[in-house]
Amino acid sequence: MQVYSIIVTTRHDLKQLLYEAHFKQQMVLQAPVILTFCADFNRFNKWCEQRKATPGYDNFLSFFTAAIDALLAAQNAALEAEYHGLGICYLGTTTYMAERIIEILHLPKGVVPITALTVGYPDENPPLTDRLPLKGIVHHETYKDYNSQEIDEIYKEKEQLPFYQELVKINQVETLAQIFTEKRYTKKDNIAFSQSLLKVIKNQGFMNNE
């Protein structure tokens, strides 16, 4: 079905609008190309209708299916770009500002932006972002829930990195976790952005619960 689309943006005026939408992250203006990956049932629905078939994809499951397609395409694009020496950065603000991005990119009903990539040749080569150890990610055979000691072990290395210890001091909090819950991804913001995204999903035709 390939229920996704990719919007390739290079025009400066559109990049300026996307820059505003993506919380004024500089890479949106600096990178020569912005790729916006969208869940897209618009094209497939039109094909069905033009072939005497009645589409039934105006529901949340269909949105979720298309969102998965879009994310798989984005990851493949990221891997291919890096293979060819390009630099990429994911823009997590895409779903936060989906309503505005729909306006900027003229996305019709049945299309929802899911994620975006900035793409270009980098002028620096920073180290990879730290990651949790595999024992914190991989479960064998079945899911094994974590006890308090295992949680401490999984996050120990991250919490001991000088960068994060300095971040805790700057933000005047007791723990690194509090930076996430009180500074970066607060409950208030999460609820607000959730309500906004649910509104977008409904307006774009994916909330038929009959």
Read off the pLDDT of each residue in 130-148 and give the average, rounded to a whole number: 97
Would you state the pLDDT for residue 129? 86
The average confidence (pLDDT) of the chain is 97
Residue 38 DSSP SS3? strand
pLDDT bucket at 6, cuts 50 / 70 / 90: very high
- Angle made by CA atoms 15, 20, 24, in degrees to the nearest 5: 100
At 150-193, the pLDDT tens digits run 999 999 999 999 999 999 999 999 999 999 999 999 999 999 99
Distance CA 46, CA 51 (A): 9
Would you state the pLDDT for residue 184? 94
Would you state the pLDDT for residue 126? 81
Residue 209 has pLDDT above 90, yes or no: no
Cα maximum dimension of the chain: 64
Query: Other C-beta atoms within 10 Å of 184: how many?
Result: 10
Read off the pLDDT of each residue in 183-210 and give the average, rounded to a whole number: 96
Radius of gyration for the chain, computed over Cα atoms and rounded to the nearest angstrom: 20
Give percent of the chain with pLDDT exceeding 70.
100
Q: Which residue has the tokens 């994911």?
A: 90
Give percent of the chain with pLDDT exceeding 90.
96
Q: Nearest 5°: phi and psi at 116?
A: -140, 155
Burial class (CB within 10 angstroms; exposed 0-12, middle 13-18, buried 19+) of 114 = buried
Q: Nearest 5°: phi and psi at 148?
A: -65, -35
Query: Other C-beta atoms within 10 Å of 20: how many?
Result: 13
Would you state the pLDDT for residue 5? 98
pLDDT bucket at 128, cuts 50 / 70 / 90: confident
* Token duo for residue 162: 């000088």
Strand partners for 87: 120
